[in-house]
Amino acid sequence: MKTYGGASPAERTAKRRAALCEAALDLLAEGGEERVTVRGVCTRARLNDRYFYESFRDPASLLLAVREQVTAQAFAAIGRAIADTEPDPDVRVRAVIEALVGFFTEDQRRGHLLIHSQSTEELRTARQASVRAMARVVADQSATMLGEQAPPARERELAALTLVHGILELFASWLRGELDITREHLVDFLVAMVRTTEDLAAALRRQRG
């Protein structure tokens, strides 16, 4: 296999793809998905447009790839928070919320991606898939932390979906500047909301016997 500058063809392709994704994140943050065009992305990445089509079909497929990349990174941050904390509900819930908020605020471009995550049909479909995946994590953690006190599987699933949808919408509103509260206030509220939803699910379990 030939190399150029010490990099194989596959490595060079991966590097160009990464540069295009970074450029798309930049442009999305600066002006929304309308800014993410083939010409705009290639200009920002300093690449010829033939390299765009080497990895992507069109701007929509690029945005989808960026979203999948950022989503995977977010799940990794959540996974680290879970692994680094004891299975105490108060401790772990706060750690996960802090990790999620920190992930989307330490790089503001990620927050813009979250805000614009429903601008196309492909992005809406991907968002629904990630919401359900995150809800499964929440439901599984509820079972792990609460043990015998955990609600039945169906109640855990409903509570987790309610939580994830609510958290993402509230967080997006905060990122858009629609909520005049501090980051600490937001985290405290989200932690309280998670615990309250757990209590509601447990109450439904008792109600249904």
118 in the same domain as 36? no
185 in the same domain as 158? yes
Note the pLDDT of residue 51.
95
Note the pLDDT of residue 1.
47
CATH of the domain at 32: 1.10.10
Domain count for the chain, please give it: 2
Strand-pair partners of 4 = 7
130 in the same domain as 38? no
129 in the same domain as 173? yes
194 in the same domain as 155? yes
Note the pLDDT of residue 79.
94
Note the pLDDT of residue 201.
59
200 in the same domain as 107? yes
202 in the same domain as 121? yes
Show the domain range for 33.
Answer: 1-56
31's tokens: 């002006």
pLDDT digits (tens, 9 = 90+) for 128-152: 999 999 999 988 888 888 777 777 7
pLDDT higher than 70, residue 206: no
152 in the same domain as 67? yes
3-state secondary structure 1-12: CCCECCECHHHH
Could you tell me the pTM of the whole model? Answer: 0.84
- Long-range CB contacts (within 8 A, 24+) of 183-189: 183/101, 183/105, 186/101, 187/94, 187/97, 187/98, 187/101
Residues 187-199, buried b or exposed e (16+ Cβ, 10 A)?
bebbbebbeebbe
93 in the same domain as 12? no
79 in the same domain as 37? no
CATH of the domain at 118: 1.10.357.10
pLDDT higher than 70, residue 96: yes
